[in-house]
Chains A and B, each alone.
Chain A
Amino acid sequence: MASTIKIRAKSKSGTTTVKALFSHPMETGNRKDKKTGDKIPAHHITEITAEYNGSVVFTAQMGPAVSKNPYLSFKFKGGSSGEKIKITWVDNKGKGDSLEATIK
Chain B
Amino acid sequence: MNDIRRKFLKSAAGLGGIAAAIGTGLLMPQRAFAAYLEDAFHATDVSAALIGAEGSDQHTPSDQIKLKAPDIAENGAVVPVTVSSTLPNVESISIIATENPSPLAASFQLSAMSEAYVSTRIKMGKTSNVIAVVKSDGKLYSATQEVKVTIGGCGG
**Which residues of A line the B interface, CB within 8 A?**
15, 26, 28, 30-32, 46-47, 49, 51-52, 55-68, 70-78, 88, 90, 94-98
Contacts and interface: CB of A to CB of B under 8 A. Distances in A.
Interface string B99-132: 0111011111111011101111111100000000
B41 to A, nearest CB: 4
Contacts of A70: 120-121
B113 A77 contact: yes
A65 B115 contact: no
Contact of B108 (A26, A59, A65, A95): A59
Nearest to A88: B28
A29 B76 CA distance: 17
Nearest to B105: A65
Given A55-B113, A67-B153, 6 more contacts: A31-B154, A59-B34, A65-B97, A65-B106, A66-B121, A67-B120
B10 to A, nearest CB: 22
Interface of B: 24-26, 28, 31-34, 36-37, 40-41, 53, 77-80, 82, 97, 100-102, 104-111, 113-115, 117-124, 153-156
Contacts of A51: 31
Contacts, number: 139
A62 B156 contact: no
A52 B33 contact: no
Nearest to B156: A31
Given A15-B115, A30-B101, A76-B114, A67 B78 contact: yes
A58 B92 CA distance: 10
B114 A58 contact: yes
Contact of A49 (B32, B41, B77, B80): B32
Contact of B113 (A76, A95, A98): A76
Contacts of B109: 58-61
A90 B130 CA distance: 26
